[in-house]
Amino acid sequence: MILNCIAVDDEPLALGLVCSFVEQTPFLNLFGRFSSAVDALKAIHTTKIDLVFLDIQMPGLNGIELARVLDNSKTNKPRIIFTTAYNQFALEGYKVDALDYLLKPFNYEEFLLASNKALAYSELVEKSNGATDIAPNKVATSESVIEEEYLFLKVEYQLVRLALKDILYIEGLKDYVKVWLQNTDKPVLSLTSLKALEEKLPSKKFLRVHRSFIVSLDKINSITRNALQIGKINITVGDQYKEAFSKFLSKWV
C-alpha cells in the first residue's frame, strides 16, 4: 500500500527535512510540499491525500485550525501527524483526532514509527471495506477499532490491540475511558467516550449496565437484581439500564 502525503511547514529547513524523510520511506508518496496551510487545503480538496505532516505554529491559518477544518469535512479526510516544536499542543492534537505528534527535533526513526501508524490505520480501513470514518464502523482513527476478536484502542497516539477476551469491564470518566483487563492491575487509558465504545463492542459479549460502566458478560462472577460482581469489584446497575439487564438476567434463572 502506498500513501499519498503532503508536508506543511512555514520553516524551509523543517519542511525540507520532512520531505527528505518521506522520500526515504517506500510506502509514502510525496504529493506536495507547502509553506502555508491555505495552499495545503486547496491541494487536499482537489486530490486524494491520505496523510498530512503538519506544523502547528504558522502565520494565517495554523495547523490546529487546518486540522479542525479537515475534521469537520465529510469527504476526503486525510490523517494528520503533527510536527511541532511545542509540546503544549498535545491535547489539542487529541481533540482534532491527530494520528501522531512528532516533537521537533525528531529523527528518521521517530518519523518512521509515526508513519507506520498511518500505514496500519490505512490497512485497517481497507480491511473494513473502505470505511474511512473510524468512529462509526469497525475501524477507528481517532479512537478505536473493533474487529471480530480485538479492540484497537488509541492510546498515546498509538493503536493498541486488546483481545476482547481479556477485557473485564470498561469504566467511563469525563473525557476518558479505563479498560480493565484480566491479569493486570493497571488499566489501559484512552481519550474516547463510553458511548463510542458501546456502539462498537459486540452486544453478545458486552453490556452497558451503568452510565459509567460496560461489562464483559462472560467475566461476571455473580449477580443480584440490582448489581453484579466481576472479580473484587461490585457494579451497581443504573436505573436506565435495568430493563436490558433484566433481559440478560432472565437467561441466568
> What would the pLDDT profile of 9-32 be if each residue is shown by its tens digit?
999 999 999 999 999 999 999 999
Query: What's the chain's average pLDDT?
Result: 83
pLDDT at 139 (0 to 100): 36
Question: Is the fold of 3-127 the same as that of 144-249?
Answer: no
Average the pLDDT over 36-62 and give the result: 91
Q: Is residue 8 pLDDT above 90, yes or no?
A: yes
Mind listing the pLDDT tens digit for each residue in 185-206?
899 998 888 988 888 888 888 9
Close Cβ partners of 93 (under 8 Å, ≥ 6 residues apart)? 64, 67, 82, 101, 157
pLDDT band of residue 160 (cuts 50, 70, 90) is confident
Most confident by average pLDDT, 67-71, 72-76, 211-215: 211-215
29-43 confidence digits (pLDDT tens): 999 999 999 999 998
Band of residue 157 on the pLDDT scale cut at 50, 70, 90? low
Task: Identify whether 105 is preceded by a cis peptide bond (ω within 30 of 0).
Answer: yes
Right CATH number for 144-249 from 3.30.300.180, 2.40.50.1020, 3.40.50.720, 3.20.10.10? 2.40.50.1020
Section 247-251 average pLDDT: 77
- Residue 136 pLDDT > 50: no
**DSSP 8-state code for residue 237:** P
- Pick 151 or 115 by higher pLDDT: 115
Domain extents for the chain?
Answer: 3-127, 144-249
Q: What is the DSSP string of 7-57?
A: EE-SSHHHHHHHHHHHHH-TTEEEEEEESSHHHHHHHHHHS---EEEE-S-
Scan for cell 512528532, then name that residue. Answer: 102
Q: Which of 5-14, 156-165, 169-178 has the lowest mean pLDDT?
A: 156-165
The whole-model pTM stands at 0.53
Residue 134: what pLDDT?
Answer: 42
CA dihedral 146, 191, 102, 133 (to 10 degrees): 40
d(CA 96, CA 93): 5
Give the integer Cα–Cα distance in Å for 220 and 233.
Answer: 10
Distance (Å, rounded) from C-alpha 218 to C-alpha 157?
Answer: 30
Res. 130: pLDDT tops 70: no
Return the pLDDT at 129.
Answer: 57
- Pick the more confident residue, 28 or 96: 28
In CATH terms, 3-127 corresponds, of 3.40.50.11540, 3.40.50.12280, 3.40.50.300, 3.40.50.2300, to: 3.40.50.2300
Nearest to 55 by CA among 28, 18, 5: 18
Please give the pLDDT value at position 137.
33
Report d(CA 153, CA 100) in Å as an integer: 14
pLDDT > 50? residue 45 = yes
With 70 as the cut, is the pLDDT of residue 44 above it?
A: yes
